[in-house]
Structure 1
Amino acid sequence: MNHHLLPPLGLALSSGLLVPWLLVRARWVQQVPRLALAVWAACGAVFAASAALLPAHLVLPAASSHRLGDLYLSLRLPPPGSLLTLSGREYLALLLGLAALALPAAGFVRQLLRARRARRRHADVLRLVGRYDPALGATVLDHARPAVYCLPGRSRRVVVSSGAVATLTTPQLAAALAHERAHIAGRHHLLVAAAEAFAAVFPRLPLTRYGGTAVPLLLEMTADDRALRRCTPDALATALYALASGQAPREAFAAGGPSAALRMRRILTPYRAGHPVLRGLLTIAAGGLAVAPLIVACCSFPA
């Protein structure tokens, strides 16, 4: 058996099964959602790289793995002549690895384009039925139910229902608007598209099953934390309570929604942010996980 198969196999099992299983059971993820999102993103990157190396090593003997690894993981483009010297099996391994990377990449682009088209259609409707309020910096939509949501991307805008304007106080409305603008500024729709693309390619993988639920919730918590820089916890929690039953398009981020109760409890319950050293170690671990395939490959392939 090709001994170079073991490192990417171990990384794929760790990033696709073990780490996601640990993440959904960890308590610290809700305290530092941005760090938790970094770990989820690192797991996705590690699994994609490992999935590209696995089929290549399956069809190659150990001696040929060195050459193919150099092509995959070199920090510069290989000389054009090196591609002409590959054998048939090496070409097959190269194509299998590139196909493994192309599947989630193509799914990511497809999800982005699909969501962009839906947001563009919704923005066209808003231009007809909504009115822009310069004081709020948002589009006001006549609807009795309180709702605040945003359309990210090129059609970015914040939408407020007339029911929300009538129900929320000025600080509460400002808190809800700050939450939505945090989604837009953080480009959170990119992480949602990546999670959906992985779920489409690897539907039964724990990384996608757990991440499909955890990533949107962590993005909402991240937006809450950013909004709290501009408002009080009471104002944001009360706004979430009032907007909990509000509806929004699937391609939008809503301030309320099903996670409102959990986020209210998180906002109003004091928690320990954790020791700075512990948070630093977790950050280093997330970064190390992201570059682990490159490190292992460089250690495995001779110069």
Structure 2
Amino acid sequence: MWLIAAAASAVTAVLLAWPVPEALCAANWTKRSPRAAIVLWQLVGLVGGLSAISTLLLLGIAPLGRDWTALNAIALVLALLLFSWLVGVLATSAVRIERDLRRQRAVVDLLGRAEADGVRVLDHPEPLAYCLPGPHPRIVITDGALAALPPDELAAVLAHERAHAAGRHELVIQPFVAWQSALPFLPPARRATAAVAELVEMLADDAAARATSRRTVARALARVGAGRPPGMSDAMSGSMAEAVGGTEQTSVIARVRRLT
């Protein structure tokens, strides 16, 4: 019985580590229901990690009695090491990202001029807009964006970035960045991070569309979306930047098509 449970747990871990993420990345329904897709991605990551740890735990405690052997001890040690590794990577990633965001917010406060509702305007000719999330978020926009965007599109851009700030979307992406860092040898981990980052952008697109209109958001996205992934700043360097940056232009095109 113990071995059957361990085998079932191992199969679940393998399925959730590779085939299921690949299928989710290829699915089209996720673009229609980004919130539900994000919840499913979170369940895949959580259950997959727990299944891997459970497999080792089941092997370690079966049978926990007179027939207990060194193999049981090795399995329990491996379970503890895997749990510590996953939790450690998650905590380290969270601390690093928050530290970088805090530093970036300080730089923006120093260089940008303050507008209403936490908006900072940077003197830069390229049309850019992004969010520096956190307990005290900053919405950053450039003079180039202010010059390029008509009032309705500017309102759409600001609504998009405020949706990132209000939803604390960096907390949605961060566990997947940690997953990618913990398991760099698994290509689905990298693709999962990029997929969730795109879904988060779609959530913010939908919030902006409710505040303005879908076509207005699409036009604004076409003007400023390619400069930098909205809601993803330079402060989120390393794995997070790599996960999103490589598919940025493709993501913008897909999001514009989705809105129109």
Q: Smaller-chain TM-score range?
A: 0.7 to 0.9
For 1:160, the equivalent position in structure 2 comes to: 141
Instruction: State the Cα distance separating 1:87 from its structure 2 match.
Output: 9.1
Alignment of 1:195-234 (within 5 A): 195-234=176-215
Q: SS where residue 173 of structure 1 aligns?
A: helix
Q: CA RMSD in A?
A: 2.5
Q: Secondary structure at the match of 2:26?
A: coil
1:158 is paired with a residue of what secondary structure?
strand
**Structure 2: which amino acid aligns with 1:145?**
E
Q: Which of 131, 138, 153 does residue 113 from structure 2 map onto? A: 131
Match of 1:192 among 173, 177, 180: 173
Q: For 1:115, what is the secondary structure of its paired residue?
A: helix
Q: Return the match for 1:249 from 210, 221, 234.
A: 234
Corresponding position of 2:94: 112
In 2, Cα distance between the equivalents of 1:8 and 1:206? 21
Within 2, Cα distance between the matches of 1:59 and 1:215? 34
**Residue 95 of structure 2 aligns to which amino acid in structure 1?**
L
- For 1:40, the equivalent position in structure 2 comes to 41
Q: For 1:6 and 1:93, how far apart are their aligned partners in 2? A: 14
- The reply to whether residue 64 of structure 1 matches residue 56 of structure 2 is no
Is contact 1:55–1:96 with CA below 8 Å preserved after alignment? yes
Larger RCO (CA within 8 A; separation ≥ 6)? 1
Quickly say closer, same or farther: Cα 1:9–1:87, change in 2 above 3 A.
closer
Query: Contact conserved, 2:113 with 2:120, CA < 8 A, in 1?
Result: yes
Give how far 1:48 is off: 0.8
Matches within 5 A, 1:1-40: 2-40=3-41
Contact 2:128–2:141 under 8 Å retained in 1: yes
Question: C-alpha distance in 2, partners of 1:57/1:206?
Answer: 28
Query: What residue number does 2:130 align with?
Result: 149
Q: Who is 1:55 aligned against?
A: 56
Q: Residue 179 of structure 1 aligns with which residue?
A: 160
Superposition deviation, residue 234 in structure 1: 1.6
Q: Which residue identity does 1:265 align to in structure 2? A: R
Tell me if the contact between 1:123 and 1:155 (Cα under 8 Å) persists in the aligned partners. no
* SS across alignment from 1:140: strand
Matches within 5 A, 1:236-275: 236-247=217-228, 248-251=233-236, 257-258=248-249, 259-268=251-260
Q: Is the 8 A contact 1:60 1:89 kept in 2?
A: no
Distance 2:3 2:162 in 1: 51
**1:191-216 C-alpha deviation (Å, 9 max, x unpaired):** 22111111111122354132022111
Aligned residues: 244
Structure 1: gaps of 5 or more residues: 66-85, 269-303
TM value normalised by structure 1: 0.73
CA contact (8 A) 1:2 1:60 kept: no
SS of the counterpart of 2:211?
coil
Q: Distance in 2 between matches of 1:204 and 1:236?
A: 37
| Per-residue deviation, 1:137 | 4.4
Q: CA deviation at 1:35?
A: 0.8
Q: 1:206 to 1:47 in 2, by over 3 A?
A: farther
Q: 1:60: Cα distance to partner?
A: 4.3
What percent identity do the matched residue pairs reach?
34
Asked if the contact 1:20/1:207 (under 8 Å) is kept, the reply is yes
Matched letter for residue 119 of structure 1: L
Aligned amino acid, residue 6 of structure 1: A
Deviations 1:17-54 (A, max 9, x none): 22112112211011111111111110101111011112
State the Cα distance separating 1:250 from its structure 2 match.
Answer: 4.6
| Distance in structure 2 (CA, Å) of the matches to 1:60 and 1:206 | 32
Q: CA deviation at 1:104?
A: 1.9
The aligned amino acid for 1:55 is: L
CA–CA distance in structure 2, aligned partners of residues 245 and 28 of structure 1? 24
Structure 2, unaligned runs of 5 or more: none
